[in-house]
Amino acid sequence: MKRSLSHTVWECKYHIVWVPKKRRKIVYGKLRQELRTILKRLCQYKGVEVIEGTICIDHIHMCLAIPPKYSVSTIVGYLKGKSAMIVFEKYSRLKRNFRGYSFWARGYYVSTVGLDEAKIRKYIKNQDINGSVRVCERK
**pLDDT tens per residue, range 36-51:** 899 999 999 999 999 9
- For 3-136, CATH gives 3.30.70.1290
Q: Beta-carbon neighbour count of residue 17 at 10 Å?
A: 17
Beta bridge partners of 52: 63
Looking at every residue in the chain, the average pLDDT score rounds to: 80
Q: What is the pLDDT of residue 137?
A: 55
pLDDT band per the 50, 70, 90 thresholds, residue 73: very high
In sequence order, the 6+-apart residues with CB closer than 8 A to the CB of 106 are none
d(CA 108, CA 138): 24
Q: Which residues are catalytic?
A: 123
d(CA 3, CA 32): 30
Name the residue ranges covered by the structural domains of the chain. Answer: 3-136
- pLDDT above 90: residue 74: yes
Q: What is the pLDDT of residue 92?
A: 67
Q: Are 86 and 31 in contact (CB under 8 A)?
A: no
